[in-house]
Structure 1
Amino acid sequence: MRQQHSISIKKVAKTFGTTQILKGVDIEVDPGQFLILVGPSGCGKSTLLNCLAGLETVSSGEIHIGGRNVDGVPPKDRDIAMVFQSYALYPNMDVRQNIAFGLQMRKVAEAEQRTTIERVSKMLQIDHLLDRKPGQLSGGQRQRVAMGRALARNPGLFLFDEPLSNLDAKLRVEMRAEIKLLHQRTGTTSVYVTHDQIEAMTLGDRIAVMKDGIVQQYGSPMDIYERPANLFVASFIGSPSMNFIPVDVQGVGTDAAVVLTSGKSESGMVVRGAALKNHSGKSMTLGLRPEAMQVGGVGGLSAEVRLVEPTGPDTHVFFEINGTHCVGRCAPHDTPRPGDTVNVTIDASRAVFFDPRTGKSV
């Protein structure tokens, strides 16, 4: 297996005219890691990928690939391969010719071309499609061919630009698994752009959550899910989104706590957290993932069910706490009905507290 590239993005900024798209991005990726750039439309993730690819020049800062500063290095000399959402296949060529095109441009010997085509087509299970034209293929098959063409280059770095956006929901899940298996087989350093937080959580070793040209948080999927840096990250990552409940901190020091109530509760539930000890008397926002609010059983808060959403493996149950709409989970065989009174048990160890003025976690 060939050596994989590290990536070092240092204070990278990018301006188009008077509009600053990237605002001092810093990211470090180890060789062989799978980095996800995720965020809403216009956050700068695709611009950053294009700067990595050499399709855009940075306005300031540096990008190093494999320890080499690639400022001014053209895309063809960066040892990268890119997979686009549009597939970008040649319609007049069959699958074999599409995969071989880049090899032919680099004047690779025909025997080596045949070996490479055989290797990547078997890896992607498209060896039975080699004589077909792109117009004869499904969307998933065409995306496999596009990945096969990239694989044939045997690059030190893969760049994926929303490659699954044009596929239906079932195919997206299948191709997501294919891309993860491909990374496990090859170990090639990869950067993947998406606005889909499910893709981000399931594919990445590292995730950079972006907003307005700034990396809001960079870390492992579980770090970002369980310890979000701010309200934006907490709301963007996770489906359903994290619950945000307004609370007032009572008591001081180790006795600091917040109280949760619902319309059906005779008394409130006290939630403590080490983060509260320096915030006595302040208003805070309590963040709880739906799975930290289990519906059913005994104890906890009594709440009236407003809405129920069965999903199959579990059920989302909606209710109000501290006057705020919240969603919890319950087992499918314990699904209540709207209007029922249920017990909501809260896992305080999963609580995250935010400063509502700055949005930052405390």
Structure 2
Amino acid sequence: MGALSIRNVKKSYGNTHILKGIDLEIEKGQFLILVGPSGCGKSTLLNMIAGLDDITSGEIAIADQVVNNLSPKDRDIAMVFQSYALYPNMSVRKNIAFGLEIRKVPKGEQDQIIARVAKTLQIEHLLGRKPSQLSGGQRQRVAMGRALARNPTLFLFDEPLSNLDAKLRVEMRTEIKLLHQRLGTTIVYVTHDQIEAMTLGDRIAVMKDGEVRQFGSPQQIYDEPADLYVAGFIGSPSMNFIPVDLTEQQGHAVVTLDNGHAELHVKLGVINDAQRAFVGKRVILGIRPEQLTDPDSAHSDRGNFQTLKAMVAITEPTGPDTLVTVTFNGVKTVARCHPRAAGNPGDLVQLVLDPTKALLFDPATEKRLA
């Protein structure tokens, strides 16, 4: 049974098209992330799933029931907002119980549900407090508890961690992931934070300008981005993009990198048909910082690695790694190195590139050549 089906959903205000035909489907128990920059339409889509915003055209089904014309209260959903939306004059217990009282759940059953939810979220000791007496993380737990008390078909989270400080955001991210694993709930979660998207979701929809640019698993989107936008949005630090000339040698794609002192011919993977059409032309080489590193930090079979030399421009220590900025083909390029191998500005360092992870893109369409 599909938990959520979104079929060619569009949203317009007059001649302004906010969503341009969204198609997504998730099964019961899956965790869907809607990720993208501000203004991409992700919160609008969430509000349409919730029934807080009308659909211009298309169809949304929850648990195989089309809900286009149903009010929010009839959609069997629970929503956790960015602002927590707690009642300030009510205790934590009453905040969690409020929806149960509206639905006339018997008092004894209410007490059982509140006890179960409070134990799950470890907020038993907070039940008598008011929201003003809680920290941001505790308020977020209460907002989640109110949603959990409903036991709905679908949970909707609208940037729930964006008001928290960095440390608490990481802690709450872990809490939400554990909660999902424990309860097997179906979740749609909106965020602009690609790290949240990668760590929480088992399905990700990367959005831009009212469209889904790619929909898939976190690893698929990371390893096989559909285009330059997805490749650059997912991953931190973001993927390096270097304009290169493409040739073919013995069935392999070969690109030329100029480090400012010499031209380096780098053999990549076996050339495919899409890439072969660009032989003799300029393409965009995409390589992630962790796939350009010092020889001792390389994870894969070093026999296939391509050795490069480059001059260090900037080093940025992060603790376990140091980000080293070098230049290839006139473009600043970031490598992730062990601190002992990072060198200093002005040093010539040796790097290795994993050719199996390098991607090529069409400069005109920005699509990956796959």
Q: State the TM-score, normalizing by the size of structure 2.
A: 0.94
| Partners of 1:293 and 1:44 in 2: CA distance | 34
1:337 equivalent among 344, 350, 359: 344
Shift of 1:300: 1.0
Structure 1 range deviating more: 305-314 or 40-49: 305-314
> Alpha-carbon deviations, 1:159-194, whole Å to 9, x = none?
000000100000100000011011111111100000
Aligned-partner residue type, residue 289 of structure 2 = P
Consecutive unaligned residues in structure 1, runs of 5 or more: none
Which residue of 2 is the match for residue 262 of structure 1? Answer: 259
Shift of 1:210: 0.3
| Partners of 1:349 and 1:267 in 2: CA distance | 17
Which residue of 2 is the match for residue 104 of structure 1? Answer: 101
Shift of 1:71: 1.2
2:357 is aligned with 1:350: yes
Which residue of 2 is the match for residue 75 of structure 1? Answer: 72
Secondary structure of the equivalent of 2:251?
Answer: helix
Residue pair 2:35, 2:197 contacting (<8 A) in 1 also: yes
> Alpha-carbon deviations, 1:47-104, whole Å to 9, x = none?
0000100111110000111001101111111110000010000000010010000001
Residue pair 1:252, 1:280 contacting (<8 A) in 2 also: no
Shift of 1:250: 1.8
Which residue of 2 is the match for residue 292 of structure 1? Answer: 291
| Partners of 1:320 and 1:72 in 2: CA distance | 56
2:149 equivalent among 152, 156, 164: 152
Which residue of 2 is the match for residue 173 of structure 1? Answer: 170
| Partners of 1:46 and 1:227 in 2: CA distance | 26
| Partners of 1:215 and 1:32 in 2: CA distance | 22
Aligned-partner residue type, residue 181 of structure 1 = L
Change in Cα spacing, 1:220 to 1:255, as seen in structure 2 (3 Å) is closer
2:15 is aligned with 1:25: no
Structure 1 range deviating more: 5-14 or 106-115: 5-14
Aligned-partner residue type, residue 281 of structure 1 = G
Change in Cα spacing, 1:189 to 1:180, as seen in structure 2 (3 Å) is same
Residue pair 2:40, 2:208 contacting (<8 A) in 1 also: yes
Which residue of 1 is the match for residue 45 of structure 2? Answer: 48
Residue pair 1:253, 1:277 contacting (<8 A) in 2 also: no
Which residue of 2 is the match for residue 162 of structure 1? Answer: 159
Residue pair 2:255, 2:265 contacting (<8 A) in 1 also: no
Q: State the TM-score, normalizing by the size of structure 1.
A: 0.96
Secondary structure of the equivalent of 2:38?
Answer: coil
Which residue of 1 is the match for residue 299 of structure 2? Answer: none
Which residue of 2 is the match for residue 199 of structure 1? Answer: 196
1:222 equivalent among 219, 228, 231: 219
2:232 equivalent among 226, 235, 252: 235
Aligned length: 359
Change in Cα spacing, 1:348 to 1:267, as seen in structure 2 (3 Å) is closer
Change in Cα spacing, 1:271 to 1:173, as seen in structure 2 (3 Å) is same
What's the C-alpha RMSD, in Å, of the aligned pairs? 1.6
2:310 is aligned with 1:313: no
Aligned-partner residue type, residue 279 of structure 1 = F
| Partners of 1:102 and 1:26 in 2: CA distance | 31
2:43 is aligned with 1:36: no
Shift of 1:312: 1.5
Residue pair 2:12, 2:18 contacting (<8 A) in 1 also: yes
**Identity fraction in percent:** 62
2:86 is aligned with 1:89: yes
Residue pair 2:342, 2:349 contacting (<8 A) in 1 also: no
Shift of 1:17: 2.5
| Partners of 2:361 and 2:177 in 1: CA distance | 34
